[in-house]
């Protein structure tokens, strides 16, 4: 007797060939036999009468060499075949295909098991030659230790769909992914153990995107000292392995009001030496990896005590605390630095033209791809006086500044920081920024604040594809008191998991293996230990490989999910943030119709703040066997899960049952973050 739980996915493969048959009551019949036999099989049964429900069951396994046939008895006469003749092949558990040929039966290959594990990135050491690829570019992949793993197979996937497999034969090899723009892929290498199970040896993500702003994996650099040239290759390669596609150059400039200096060596705001050639070589190295290089500068600041007047900055451009222009606003800096920063009116058109002229010099001499504009947050009540006594809201002056930059250099990218959400709406609605960049502090310290910043940025921009980059500094108080210590891994990983699952990015990785812990980017009080470097690499592989499931979403879901395994659940949505001592579920639907459930482990959290100020967020206790009953209003053909925390990010097909609106599935494990996908 055929097992209907093992056949329904094959039916979905025929959906496009027989839409009318599915509209007829009890019109579709199925059967199976161990040989080709007659068509249809003698034990064929109406699908609508299947005990598991009205087509609401997905294949999870089939008998070896089992042949499945379909027929339409809808007209009451002789059976007619659904779809063209051919082999309907299930080449392995992760994929299935419908291929037209001459055979009359569906041939199914049995599932392979997957051996669970946590292979280290260095064990197999996969690399790609670029951080991202333009459509049509060839991907070159390196497996430096390929000779240590005879009999290995390379597999190329998009989600669960396998595009290609081939034997691993050499250290470097090319792959030509589909030319569709804005697609993420996972390349994994495996071999079979003595029991026929797949053992994942290594994996790496691949991003095919024509512009960085669709998935802005933002990194930074802040070290330009003379003599650094021999180290640039390795420093930037660290970012490449983590697929960083846009890099901020912090404090590379000479003066805030006069950023470019043509001298071979000059000093930055802190009087650190800067080599112009090192800046050029960093840009060149990043471009070799298809990374965009953005220069950082304050959008409305002048070094008044470092020859600002001689350099052409006029008194009428500054802004003041009083209508009589007697008290300027400035940012106090250490005495051994060049100067305090005195603020100008960002809406003053003469200042805008002046800084655009200075940016002309930057772009003429350095091959930067855009401008990362900084600000300093709300000053006082947010209002100021210009030289003539007119009162202005500071944030309202930002759009005209950004639009002036864009008019002067329309082919260059723009990002502007919103410090503690100051000016966030005005920046997002300016119509000229490539992404929303949000530096958050104590006023926005909760995980729920992350949710609302993303929501508000998209709403203000009027663009649901507008992405948010968080500049959020981890372990801030701990870093101040414990120079030389490592970051607290659980705090960093839980925060990253939440940011990524919500659809945002985190500016945190710097050249040379550094991680950002302070607003002054050259600061290196804390460092990543080997465990965190390993985990971070997997997280960036994960968000690259599954970018279409994480970031290309159409709307938030408000699911009804019940735990059948005793795990306490918390649904994260607009009405309720994550709750401690629970498995948090955040769900969205992709533009391609997949339902994605992000499971986040809050079972051991000691705070609902993303900051982990004192580096004391405890390591979570891994949850296993999380059985869920999900209220689902549509027919599901495939369920799978993937996590950056194990199995080298490789996806796993999951057995499930669906009856009516009830879909039951068991998620194998949850350390920090597991993504459950229903298609």
**Does 37 share its domain with 174?**
no
**Does 264 share its domain with 360?**
yes
- For the four alpha carbons of 302, 306, 308 and 311, in that order, the dihedral sign comes to negative
**Residue 533 forms part of a structural domain:** no
The whole-number pLDDT of residue 43 equals 53
**Does 327 share its domain with 234?**
yes
Mean pLDDT calculated for residue range 337-348: 97
Query: 57 near 8, Cβ under 8 Å?
Result: yes
The whole-number pLDDT of residue 110 equals 43
The whole-number pLDDT of residue 465 equals 93
Radius of gyration (Cα) for the chain, nearest Å?
28
CATH code where residue 126 lies: 2.60.40.10
**Residue 471 forms part of a structural domain:** no
Number of H helices, E strands in the chain: 12, 41
- Whole-angstrom CA distances from 182 to 203, 212, 278, 300, 443 are 20, 10, 32, 35, 35
**Does 45 share its domain with 160?**
no
The whole-number pLDDT of residue 29 equals 53
Distance CA 131, CA 274 (A): 26
Domain end residue (candidates: 62, 96, 111): 111
**Does 187 share its domain with 229?**
no
Residue 110 DSSP code: P
Query: 72 near 90, Cβ under 8 Å?
Result: no
Range of the structural domain that residue 190 is part of: 114-208
Structure token digits, residue 511: 């050249």
**Does 202 share its domain with 237?**
no
Q: What is the pLDDT of residues 493-543, one digit of tens each?
A: 999 999 999 999 999 999 999 999 999 999 999 999 999 999 999 999 999
Structure token digits, residue 573: 């949505």
The whole-number pLDDT of residue 520 equals 96
Say yes or no to pLDDT of 209 above 60: yes
- By residue count, the chain amounts to 679
The whole-number pLDDT of residue 116 equals 75
Say yes or no to pLDDT of 319 above 90: yes
Confidence class of residue 334 from pLDDT cuts 50, 70 and 90?
A: very high
Domain end residue (candidates: 208, 236, 264): 208
The whole-number pLDDT of residue 194 equals 87
The whole-number pLDDT of residue 97 equals 32
Q: What is the pLDDT of residues 260-296, one digit of tens each?
A: 999 999 999 999 999 999 999 999 999 999 999 999 9
Residue 486 DSSP code: B
Number of domains in the chain: 4
Domain end residue (candidates: 381, 413, 445): 413
Say yes or no to pLDDT of 375 above 70: yes
**Residue 141 forms part of a structural domain:** yes
Say yes or no to pLDDT of 560 above 60: yes
**Does 38 share its domain with 147?**
no
- The most confident of the ranges 120-129, 249-258, 633-642 is 249-258
Say yes or no to pLDDT of 374 above 80: yes
The whole-number pLDDT of residue 72 equals 52
DSSP notation for 560-605? -EEESSS--EEE-SSS----TTSEEEEEEEETTS-EEEEEEE-TT-
**What proportion of the chain, given as a percentage, has pLDDT over 70?**
83
Q: What is the pLDDT of residues 20-77, one digit of tens each?
A: 223 333 455 555 444 444 444 455 555 444 444 333 333 334 454 454 555 555 555 5
Helix/strand/coil for 13: helix
Closest CA relative to residue 360, chosen from 368, 348, 372, 350: 368
Least confident of 53-62, 421-430, 504-513, 632-641: 53-62
**What proportion of the chain, given as a percentage, has pLDDT over 90?**
80
**Does 119 share its domain with 232?**
no
CATH code where residue 659 lies: 2.60.40.1180
**Does 164 share its domain with 269?**
no
**Residue 1 forms part of a structural domain:** yes
Q: What is the pLDDT of residues 140-198, one digit of tens each?
A: 999 988 899 999 999 999 999 999 999 999 999 999 999 999 999 999 999 998 888 89
DSSP percent split of the chain into helix, strand, coil, nearest 5 = 25, 30, 50
The whole-number pLDDT of residue 24 equals 33
Distance CA 370, CA 411 (A): 8
Question: What integer best gives the mean pLDDT of the chain?
Answer: 87
- Whole-angstrom CA distances from 641 to 207, 646, 656, 666, 670 are 20, 11, 12, 10, 10
**Does 185 share its domain with 333?**
no
Confidence class of residue 356 from pLDDT cuts 50, 70 and 90?
A: very high
Q: What is the pLDDT of residues 85-139, one digit of tens each?
A: 333 333 333 333 333 333 333 333 345 677 778 889 988 899 999 999 999 999 9
**Does 177 share its domain with 267?**
no
Alpha helices (H) along 270-348:
276-288
**Residue 536 forms part of a structural domain:** no
**Residue 372 forms part of a structural domain:** yes
CATH code where residue 302 lies: 3.20.20.80
**Residue 418 forms part of a structural domain:** no
Beta bridge partners, 126, equal 143
**Residue 50 forms part of a structural domain:** yes
**Does 140 share its domain with 180?**
yes
CA dihedral 68, 74, 80, 86 (to 10 degrees): -40
């Amino acid at each position: 007797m055929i097992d209907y739980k093992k056949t329904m996915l094959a039916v979905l493969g025929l959906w496009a060939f027989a839409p009318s048959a599915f509209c007829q009551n009890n019109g579709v019949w199925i059967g199976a036999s161990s040989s080709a036999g007659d068509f249809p099989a003698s034990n064929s049964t109406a699908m609508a009468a299947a005990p598991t429900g009205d087509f609401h069951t997905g294949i999870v396994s089939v008998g070896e060499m089992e042949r499945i046939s379909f027929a339409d008895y809808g007209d009451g006469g002789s059976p007619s075949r659904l779809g063209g003749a051919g082999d309907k092949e299930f080449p392995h558990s992760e994929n299935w295909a419908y291929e037209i040929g001459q055979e009359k039966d569906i041939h199914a290959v049995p599932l392979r098991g997957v051996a669970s594990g946590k292979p280290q990135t260095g064990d197999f050491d996969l690399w790609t030659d670029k951080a991202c690829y333009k459509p049509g570019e060839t991907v070159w992949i390196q497996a430096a230790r390929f000779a240590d793993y005879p009999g290995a197979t390379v597999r190329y996937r998009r989600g669960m769909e396998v595009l290609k497999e081939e034997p691993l034969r050499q250290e470097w090899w090319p792959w030509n992914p589909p030319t569709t723009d804005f697609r993420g892929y996972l390349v994994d290498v495996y071999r079979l153990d003595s029991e026929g199970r797949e053992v994942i040896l290594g994996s790496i993500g691949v991003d095919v995107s024509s512009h960085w702003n669709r998935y802005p994996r933002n990194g930074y650099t802040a070290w330009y000292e003379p003599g650094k040239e021999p180290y640039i290759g390795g420093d930037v390669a660290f970012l490449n392995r983590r697929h960083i596609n846009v890099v901020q150059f912090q404090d590379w400039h000479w003066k805030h009001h006069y950023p470019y200096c043509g001298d071979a060596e000059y000093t930055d705001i802190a009087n650190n030496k800067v080599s112009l050639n090192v800046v050029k070589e960093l840009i060149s190295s990043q471009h070799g990896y298809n990374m965009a290089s953005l220069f950082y500068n304050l959008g409305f600041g002048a070094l008044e005590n470092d020859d600002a007047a001689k350099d052409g900055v006029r008194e009428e451009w500054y802004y003041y605390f009083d209508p009589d222009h007697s008290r300027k606003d400035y940012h106090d800096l250490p005495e051994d630095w060049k100067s305090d920063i005195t603020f100008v009116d960002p809406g003053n058109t003469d200042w805008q033209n002046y800084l655009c002229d200075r940016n002309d010099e930057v772009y003429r001499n350095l091959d930067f791809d855009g401008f990362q504009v900084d600000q300093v947050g709300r000053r006082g009540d947010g209002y100021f006086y210009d030289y003539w006594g007119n009162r202005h809201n500071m944030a309202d002056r930002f759009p005209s500044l950004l639009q002036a930059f864009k008019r002067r250099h329309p082919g260059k990218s723009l990002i502007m920081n919103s410090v503690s959400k100051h000016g966030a709406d005005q920046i997002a609605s300016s119509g000229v920024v490539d992404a929303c960049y949000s530096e958050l502090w104590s006023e926005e310290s909760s995980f729920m604040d992350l949710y609302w910043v993303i929501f508000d940025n998209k709403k203000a921009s009027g663009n649901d594809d507008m992405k948010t980059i968080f500049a959020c500094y981890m372990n801030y108080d701990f870093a101040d008191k414990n120079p030389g210590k490592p970051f607290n891994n659980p705090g960093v990983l839980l925060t990253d998991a939440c940011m990524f699952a919500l659809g945002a990015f985190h500016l945190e990785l710097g050249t040379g293996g550094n991680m950002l812990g302070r607003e002054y980017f050259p600061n290196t009080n804390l460092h990543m230990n080997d465990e965190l470097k390993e985990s971070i690499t997997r997280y960036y592989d994960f968000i690259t490989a599954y970018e279409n499931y994480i970031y290309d979403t159409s709307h938030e879901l408000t699911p009804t999910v019940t735990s059948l395994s005793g795990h306490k659940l918390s649904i994260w949505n607009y009405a309720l943030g994550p709750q401690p001592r629970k498995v948090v579920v955040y769900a969205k639907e992709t533009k391609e119709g997949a339902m994605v459930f992000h499971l986040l482990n809050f079972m051991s959290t000691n705070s609902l703040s993303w900051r982990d100020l004192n580096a004391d967020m405890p390591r979570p206790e891994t949850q296993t066997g999380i059985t869920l009953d999900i209220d689902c209003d549509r027919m599901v053909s495939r369920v799978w899960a993937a996590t950056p925390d194990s199995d080298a990010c490789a996806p796993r097909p999951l057995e499930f049952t669906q009856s009516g609106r009830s879909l039951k599935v068991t998620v194998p494990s949850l350390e920090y973050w597991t993504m459950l996908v229903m298609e």
